Amino acid sequence: MTVWIEIGGKKRRVELPSAGAAGALECVVDGKAVTVDAQTLQPGVMSLVVEGRQYRCVLDGDAVLIDGKRFAFEVSDPRSLQGRRGVGEGAAGPRTVKAPMPGRVVRVLVAVGGDVAEQQGVVVIEAMKMQNELKSPKAGRVIRVAVAVEDTVGAGDVLVVVE
């Protein structure tokens, strides 16, 4: 199976070894074969020997920690590249402001029906003694305010929708 793996801003074409394989695997990265010997040490933790070099890898949500360094990846199947952007999320459609981190809402600066300018603050979230004002990605009208003061939000939760 061929996928694109984007890391560090650069996209590489990778041919994956067959799913479910273990032991010495051959991956082809941009046409170059790389042998990886994989050993699971405990759930989520692997030792990988790549071309004779040993790496301890920890799977961590959207990233992998390799010898303590964190790498986040975007993996895409070339057959499904079209339509990746959510319907209605273009510059002309509604745009959502999402919480970039878990936190508590300390101020809501807009109301449904109100107009906002691009980069105008809409909600202030506090976490770990730090307040962050989240801004509207576009000028438009507020069509939804999904939170109220004192609400606790998770990373990625929708706060406000601007049309």
Partner 1 sequence: MRRTIQKVLIANRGEIALRVIRACREMGLRTVAVYSDADRAALHVLHADEAYRLGPAPASESYLRGDLILEAARHCGADAVHPGYGFLSENAEFAEACATAGVTFIGPPANAMRVLGSKTRARQTADAAGIPRVPGSVTGLTSAEEALKVAEGIGFPVMLKAAAGGGGKGMRAVAAREELAAAYAAASSEAERSFGSGEVYIEKLIEQPRHIEIQLMADQYGRCLYLGERECSVQRRHQKVIEEAPSAVVGEDLRRRMGEAAVRLALSAGYVNAGTVEFLVDSDQNFYFLEMNTRLQVEHPVTELVTGLDLVRMQIRVAMGEPLGLKQEDVQLRGHAIECRIYAEDPENSFFPSPGLITRLVQPGGAGIREDCGVYAGWTVPLEYDPMLSKLVAFAETRELAIDRMLRALDEYVIGGIKTNIGLFRRILNDPDFRAARIDTGYLERLLARAASVDEATVADEVVAIAAALLAVSGCERTPAVADSVQQSRWATAGRQEGLRT
Contact set with partner 1 (CB under 8 A) = 3, 5-10, 12, 14, 16-22, 25, 27, 29-30, 32, 34, 36, 38, 40, 43-46, 48, 50-51, 53, 55, 57-77, 100-104, 126-130, 132, 152
Instruction: Please say which residue, 36 or 108, places its beta carbon nearer to partner 1.
Output: 36
- How big is the CA angle at 157 (ends 86 and 147), to the nearest 5 degrees? 120
Nearer to partner 1, 18 or 82 (CB): 18
- Residue 30 Rama label (left phi>0; alpha psi -120 to 50; beta): left
Pairing verdict, β 103-108 and 152-153: antiparallel
Minimum gap (Å) between residue 57 Cβ and partner 1: 6
How far is Cα 58 from Cα 75, in angstroms, rounded to an integer? 17
**Residues 132 and 100: beta-carbon distance below 8 Å:** yes
Q: How far is the CB of 162 from partner 1 (least distance, A)?
A: 20
Least Å distance, CB 54 to partner 1, is 11
